[in-house]
Structure 1
Amino acid sequence: MLKIIPIAALALLATSCASVENILPNNANHATTMTTPATHAKKGLITMQSNHSVSDTADKLIKVIENKGMTVFAQVDHQKNAAGVNLSLRPTQVVMFGNPKAGTPLMNCEQSIAIDLPQKVLITEDAQQRVWLSYNDPQYLKNRHNLQGCDTQLANIAKALDDISQAAIAK
């Protein structure tokens, strides 16, 4: 069952969820030349532009995730939570999902990766009303956690993340 995370729990999640400012290009020229998919290697994120609204992209993503037999643990609507405390925010959602068959082997390689699991996808709308989908680059997580001996699992996860993301942003 999908759970909506209350605002009080967001502080805990904030350390593992990227902010809008951290994933969007810093200048308009870079943003207009961004290709799909684009990797922000220095920030450890893979980002691609969606052809849909934030809400529709999140809905498509959730459907694809569930159709692949993975579990959606939560959907956080940061815009809605901001509005709940009389603040404004462009559409920003995070979908948290996973599969113990994929995550457990990674945690057996290096338990610290559990801080980055379950997987998260960030979907945002920028000031020009373009929608972006971002997720942690598995190679970044490999380096961050010094994973040894999990290259096959990481490659499978990278392919799965790309597949579900591409399906969510496709026309």
Structure 2
Amino acid sequence: MSRFLTLFSAATLTASLGLASAGGAQPMGNGLVSLPSSYSVGETLDRVASAAQALDFGVAARINHAAAAQKVGLELRPTEVLLVGNPKGGTALMQCAQTAAIDLPVKFLAYQDAAGQVWLTYNDPAYLMSRHNASGCNEAFAKAGGALKTIAMNALK
């Protein structure tokens, strides 16, 4: 499949999944989906972990960047990353394009911006499909996109 068709397929997949416009999403234009959260950064990721586990995703790691910054005498607004994965779904993506492994397990970022708004951000699977030139894998990436959107929406309820 040509690069143009892969990009077209990724754009079509994004539109069909509603990822770029999901309930209050802030389109980033760089493959990220960002949604406002009414919870703190920590509570947002606690809720993501619960929503992910309900869909048979395991939690691989949680990284508190603000706490790490504080340990070296620096300040950072609340910023945490949660890595979650589902080997069945992730393997399907890697079978399509093995380089997708660099983006797995899936990362959910929760951060507080300068105005105090908390955001939940994750990679758009349609963007990842294009990034890794995964042709003929629309179904696998669409399924991943649906799962991530469900996790995010359930966490932000």
| TM-score for the superposition, normalised by structure 1 | 0.76
Q: CA deviation at 1:81?
A: 0.6
Partner residue in 2 for 1:66: 53
Q: Which residue of 110, 126, 151 corresponds with 1:139?
A: 126
How many aligned positions are there? 135
Code of the aligned partner of 1:38:
Q
Q: Which amino acid aligns with 1:68?
A: L
Coordinate RMSD, CA, aligned: 1.0
Per the TM alignment, residue 123 of structure 1 is displaced from its structure 2 partner at its CA by 0.4
- Out of 150, 154, 160, the position equivalent to 2:137 is 150
Give the drift of 1:70: 0.9
Aligned pairs for 1:75-90 (under 5 A) are 75-90=62-77
SS at match of 1:64: helix
Q: In the alignment, which residue of structure 1 is the partner of 2:31? A: 44
Which string of whole-angstrom CA distances, capped at 9 and with x for unpartnered residues, describes residues 16-65 of structure 1? xxxxxxxxxxxxxxxxxxx712322x211001100101011011111111
- Identity of aligned pairs, percent? 41
The higher relative CO (CA closer than 8 Å, separation ≥ 6) is in: 2
Q: SS in structure 2 opposite 1:43? A: coil
Residue 44 of structure 2: aligned partner: 57
Which runs of no fewer than 5 residues in structure 2 stay unpaired?
Answer: 1-22
* SS of equivalent to 1:36: coil
Corresponding residue of 1:105:
92
Cα deviation digits, residues 61-89 of structure 1 (max 9, x gap): 11111122111000000001111111100
Superposed, which structure 2 residues align to 1:111-126 within 5 Å?
111-126=98-113
Q: After TM superposition, what 4+ stretches of structure 1 lie above 4 angstroms from structure 2? A: none
Gaps of 5+ in 1: 1-34
Q: Residues 99-157 of structure 1, C-alpha deviation per residue, up to 9 Å, x if partnerless? A: 11001111111111110111001100011110000000111101100001211111111
Query: SS of the residue aligned with 1:90?
Result: coil
How far apart, in 2, do the equivalents of 1:36 and 1:68 lie?
Answer: 23
